[in-house]
Chains A and B, each alone.
Chain A
């Protein structure tokens, strides 16, 4: 987790300087830094020779991109239809209470971000909670804390 992050230049150099790579570059920067910083946004704009407002527009349009730094653990509560009718909103409420943040927010210690996602395609296991890459299916009420703890432990 403490691996040195690639610099923005190192990321940019792996893409041709053409407009059609703007989304791919933004995604790569998001993966590396967990957000798109103002400096990086500008660097992308310069590299591709696209107005900064266009890049900003994309960064705010696509849901996988974020302008604010996300937590180390991103907890996603799926609210796809299958999860929804199996009570995902109650699960969400419970996670909110456990982390003491609302959706779209990050805990003050920078450890957790909470997001609602619209279907991750794991409907057969609804309701689903995802922590970074780990899927938790058939989540029962009262299990939120357990899931959060197990994510943290897995990394420790």
Chain B
């Protein structure tokens, strides 16, 4: 069997230089005997971007991390011998591991959505076919549309874009409406800061999304579709377009798909850079060529959506689940997960955690498993403080809830949401008040500005939180925040506004003491808010090296030879350069 060398070429690994690595592999394999030349494949994201570029050898299943062009010759030489130990991942006990399964980052993962990502070449149509692609579509086209819907309903799949609405039920509602024109849309306008699963799926396995879209279109009776994808996702756009072209050329898109008599075509619309366009009615407005403002949805889009026609909008990750469900059956899918949330969820585990990256785990896994087993805990021996789920529309989950089994319902109950699956881990050095301020700032910029409670409510909450972070807060501000948050969530026009106060409400609920510290003691316990902290030098630890003086941009640090340096607090702008440069940990935040 020909050996394959899989080089990860996701955005993360590309940034770490995997293109040069691919070139080097091609260059050096040319010198090898023709009979043993391994096949080189550029794959999608493996999720462990921080340790990229990653290279996997199959069928031996050896994975190397942080591979550089200079390592290529060693890897090629070792193909029939022992693996190159220095490039292997070392587990928590320091033991090098060869396969991904032994790597603690991958051990608890269960791949459905990411089944092909990192394994196949996303720009190669045959790779997808060989991996069992389009089997689901072939099966679906032989079924009555309503039977497909029943199957999807039975699987228990819920929308992965955030809402968690039953995908099957949505399809059924649209199927039951008679209309000549119906639209099937894919939402790839992933905008949650801290989430990048949709990008990775579109980059690494675009056909699975497309296949899901075609099956959905057949089920609801749509003949035209749009994929709305963020313009910033260059590689995802490229791979998705290639997938559409290849599918068309091979008879999987267009007229009379696979001889079934079913016609469906689709095109890509590039997002304009507006977070609110992830909201369905704003997304549709944007496709129609208008300003992406949401509209009132007392009439559902399955009745009256894009161009006033019945429309189904499904998220990238939801769609990527569909081929699996059609191929392996609803029971198989429904056997994974919790009572109310079936299947797996892709999370982006980022922030202050040792192993960051993209992971896919069964619904119902605990935060503790996610952060401490897969993520390997908090770096530098610091203490876990909270995890933010659901991005700006979600909330924070404190330490006492680490054993919460996460699914759509449990997170909602605790004042957060699943959202698209971003999990941002925060340690003791994250200020929860400042984080709430950060989210409000994000949202004031991203709110469309149409309705009063969202636009003005966010503006006012940001104003108050900024004041608190600057030490100018008053106790009455907390009541005002609660009032504003309540009205914004009750009276806003769209989901962005309705969920926008979550970061404020959840941090007030779990970290009220931090708000009080800022307001009453004029102190930032996490040492973050610049107006409430100061940098000081510990005289005993200062070795007079002068490095801090060099990196200080405002010449606030002075010192005489062989005496501890001093920071002039009036000049200091609290940039933190000195602290991060000091090799002796002689600078601390007060």
Contacts and interface: CB of A to CB of B under 8 A. Distances in A.
Contacts of B553: 94, 97
B387 to A, nearest CB: 11
Given A85-B352, A124-B350, A140 B50 contact: no
Contacts of A24: 269-270
A27 B196 contact: no
**Which bracket fits the contact residues of B?**
35 or more
Nearest to A82: B350
Interface in A97-156: 97, 117-126, 133-138, 140-142
Nearest to A126: B350
Interface string B272-297: 11110000000000111111100000
B358 interface: yes
A87 B438 CA distance: 12
A61 B233 CA distance: 19
A118 B191 contact: yes
B331 to A, nearest CB: 34
Contact of A90 (B16, B50, B190, B576): B576
B556 interface: no
Contacts of B388: 81
Interface in B285-317: 286-292
A122 B12 contact: yes
A6 interface: no
A124 B274 contact: no
Contacts of A138: 50
Contacts of B573: 93
A81 B422 contact: yes
Contact of B15 (A23, A93, A137): A137
Contacts of A136: 15
Contacts of A142: 551, 577, 580-581
B430 interface: yes
Nearest to A18: B289
B15 A64 contact: no
Contacts of B289: 18-23
Interface string A74-101: 0000011110111100100110010000
A81 B357 CA distance: 14
B351 A61 contact: no
B49 to A, nearest CB: 4
Interface residues of A, number: 48
Interface in B384-408: 388, 391
Nearest to A21: B289
Contacts of A120: 232
Interface string B426-456: 1000100001001100100110100000000
A121 B231 CA distance: 12
A124 B12 CA distance: 8
B196 A122 contact: yes
A64 B273 contact: yes
B357 A124 contact: yes
Contacts of B15: 122, 125, 134-137
Interface in B158-198: 190-196
A134 B16 CA distance: 10
B233 A121 contact: yes
Contacts of A93: 573, 575
A65 interface: yes
Contacts of B577: 90, 94, 141-142
A118 B287 CA distance: 22
Nearest to B574: A90
Nearest to B275: A118
Interface in B349-377: 350-352, 356-358
A79 to B, nearest CB: 8
A21 B350 CA distance: 37
Contacts of B251: none
Contacts of B271: 64
Contacts of A20: 287-289
Contacts of B231: 27, 64
B291 A57 contact: yes
A140 B551 CA distance: 12
A133 B11 CA distance: 11
7 contacts: A62-B292, A79-B193, A82-B350, A85-B435, A124-B356, A138-B50, A140-B580
Given A80-B194, A123-B194, 12 more contacts: A19-B288, A22-B289, A27-B270, A81-B351, A84-B435, A93-B573, A118-B191, A119-B193, A121-B196, A122-B12, A126-B350, A141-B580
